[in-house]
């Protein structure tokens, strides 16, 4: 049966790498009867390869409010294109990591809407979801918000995020899977662990291909590894404070300071290895989800009496703002920032000098020619 594969993330589980892999191997997928379409839609700060974004993407009007009519029209246009693709292809793949959250937020009718389209078009919905241990995902998600200055928590502490962040749309994995299963059926959901040693074929690419019914061969082109690294040690705190500056609303400014902090992040993490929660806090946090995680292993993976994740917690101290390494990290950050600006200034001076010399040659071509002739004859 024709299948619409909907890869829904979750965030921080290699989704961008999978999207790039599908785009890079378009020809091979086409030969196998698969299509990873790229739509001509633009959403601010959303990569075009996130081709499933039209399913729920927000469109703003001139006053900054949501234009729900245009959102509906965009959805209908994208879905119609999917129907057309099934006239040529047996399998169509859509991917966007934010589906995981927005199915319970921006568009609560997503799955019923898609199921209706599947019944109309004579294809089935197949959902692929990668799950990461809740504490690792939650900390990484906060780190990403701080790094990109994204969302209301980009300037708030992790403790505040932990207390006030909406965990329901992120961390209640079993309940969310059950809501999808209630519409498309549990048998149409593929759950994979995003954890070392669990990828089929040894890589995320082989694992994803197996989930859609294909096998990784030497013919496939593996994308250059995308390092979506976070900010570690004290660098996340420096960026969190910087986010409060109104000037950081500028994307170039935000990108500039993020890159400078990345330059010292590994050093900071090496000198002050720490975590955002203590070992005891992490254990208590994970216990909230452990029973439901076990149900996922049994009901979605067919593994009885096994854990969904490895619950080993590293022996690391809890990060403290007044730690003795903050001063050194601030000096490093100031240093790499100043060096970057110095290098940029030197390059500008070099470019201006070359431009000035070029203008002289253009204005006085004959004088320049005579000089060269004199040099050649030794006069």
Lowest mean pLDDT among 51-55, 220-224, 258-262: 220-224
pLDDT of residue 45: 86
Q: For the segment 34-84, what is each residue's pLDDT rounded down to a tens digit?
A: 999 999 999 998 999 999 999 999 999 988 899 999 999 999 999 999 999
Give the confidence band of 372 by pLDDT, cuts at 50, 70, 90.
low
**pLDDT of residue 225 exceeding 80:** no
Tell whether the model's pLDDT for residue 5 goes beyond 70: yes
For the cut 70, the answer to whether the pLDDT of residue 16 exceeds it is yes
Residue with tokens 């593929």: 190
Tell me what the mean pLDDT of segment 250-269 comes to. 95
More confident residue, 317 or 365: 317
The band of 376, judged by pLDDT with boundaries at 50, 70 and 90, is: low
Q: Are 248 and 257 in contact (CB under 8 A)?
A: yes
Q: Please name which of 232, 230, 234, 262 lies closest in space to residue 326, comparing C-alpha atoms.
A: 234
Per-residue pLDDT tens digits for 154-203: 999 999 999 988 888 889 999 999 999 999 999 999 999 999 889 999 99
Q: Which two tokens stand for residue 192?
A: 């994979």
Separation CA 313–CA 288 (nearest Å):
15
Q: How far is CA 315 from the centre of its chain?
A: 28
Report the pLDDT value the prediction gives residue 365, as an integer from 0 to 100: 61
From CA 35, how far away is CA 182, in angstroms rounded? 27
Flag the least confident range among 236-250, 339-353, 363-377: 363-377
Nearest CA among 263, 288, 293 for reference residue 277: 288
Query: What's domain 1-131+168-228's architecture?
Result: 3-Layer(aba) Sandwich (3.40)
Residue 377 has pLDDT above 70, yes or no: no
Could you identify the residue written with the tokens 């939650």? Answer: 138
Q: What is the mean pLDDT of residues 128-145?
A: 95
Q: Tell me the three state secondary structure of residue 127.
A: strand
In this predicted structure, the answer to whether residue 367 has a pLDDT above a threshold of 80 is no
Q: Is the pLDDT of residue 366 over 60?
A: no
Q: Using 50, 70 and 90 to split pLDDT, how confident is the model at 29?
A: very high
Separation of alpha carbons 245 and 256, rounded Å: 14
pLDDT the model gives residue 356 = 79
Domain chopping of the chain, boundaries? 1-131+168-228, 337-377
How many Å apart are CA 35 and CA 141, to the nearest integer? 30
Q: Assign 332 a pLDDT band (cuts: 50, 70, 90).
A: very high
Checking if the pLDDT of 333 tops 60, the result is yes
Q: How confident is the model at residue 281 (pLDDT cuts 50, 70, 90)?
A: very high
Residue 116 Cα distances to 1, 37, 102, 135, 206, angstroms: 16, 21, 19, 36, 31
Confidence (pLDDT) at 363 = 60
For the cut 60, the answer to whether the pLDDT of residue 369 exceeds it is: no
The two three-digit tokens of residue 274, written as one number: 């720490």
Of 8-17, 48-57, 81-90, 125-134, which range is least confident? 8-17
Q: In what order do the strands lie in the sheet with 91-95?
A: 34-35, 91-95, 3-7, 124-131, 189-193
Q: What is the pTM for the complete model shown?
A: 0.88
Dig out the tokens for 239 from the structure: 């960026």
At 49 the pLDDT is: 97
H/E element holding 131? strand 124-131
CA–CA distance, 106 with 79 (Å, rounded to integer): 18
Give yes or no for residue 271 having a pLDDT over 80: yes
Average pLDDT value for residue range 259-279: 96
């Amino acid at each position: 049966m024709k299948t619409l594969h909907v890869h829904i993330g979750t965030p921080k589980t290699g989704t961008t790498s999978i999207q790039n892999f599908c785009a890079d191997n378009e020809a091979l997928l086409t030969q196998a009867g698969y299509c990873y379409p790229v739509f001509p839609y633009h959403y601010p700060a959303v990569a075009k390869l996130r081709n499933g974004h039209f399913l729920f993407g927000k469109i703003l009007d001139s006053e900054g409010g949501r234009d729900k009519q245009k959102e509906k029209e965009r959805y209908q246009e994208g879905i119609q294109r999917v129907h057309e693709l099934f006239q040529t292809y047996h399998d169509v793949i859509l991917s966007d990591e934010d589906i995981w959250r927005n199915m319970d937020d921006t568009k609560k009718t997503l799955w019923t809407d898609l199921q209706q389209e599947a019944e109309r078009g004579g294809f089935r919905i197949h959902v692929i979801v990668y799950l990461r241990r809740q504490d690792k995902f939650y900390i990484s998600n906060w780190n990403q918000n701080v790094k990109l200055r994204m969302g209301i928590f980009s300037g708030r502490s992790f403790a505040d995020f932990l207390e006030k962040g909406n965990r329901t749309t992120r961390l209640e994995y079993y309940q969310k899977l059950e809501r999808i299963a209630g519409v498309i059926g549990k048998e149409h959901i593929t759950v994979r662990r995003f954890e070392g040693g669990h990828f089929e074929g040894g890589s995320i690419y082989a694992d994803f291909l197996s989930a859609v019914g294909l096998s990784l061969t030497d013919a496939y082109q593996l994308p250059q590894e995308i390092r979506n690294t976070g900010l570690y040690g004290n660098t996340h705190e420096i960026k969190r404070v910087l986010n409060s500056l109104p000037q950081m609303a500028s994307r170039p400014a935000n990108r500039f300071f993020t890159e400078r902090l990345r330059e010292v992040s590994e050093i900071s993490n090496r000198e002050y290895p720490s975590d955002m929660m203590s070992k005891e806090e992490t254990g208590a946090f994970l216990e909230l989800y452990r029973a439901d995680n076990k149900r996922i292993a049994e009901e979605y993976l067919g593994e009885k009496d096994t854990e969904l994740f490895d619950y080993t917690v590293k022996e690391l101290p809890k990060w403290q703002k007044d730690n003795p390494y903050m001063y050194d990290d601030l000096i490093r950050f100031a240093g790499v920032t100043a060096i970057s600006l110095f290098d940029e200034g030197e390059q500008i001076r070099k470019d201006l000098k070359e431009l000035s010399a070029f203008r002289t040659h253009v204005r006085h071509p004959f004088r320049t020619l005579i000089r060269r002739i004199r040099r050649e004859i030794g006069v």
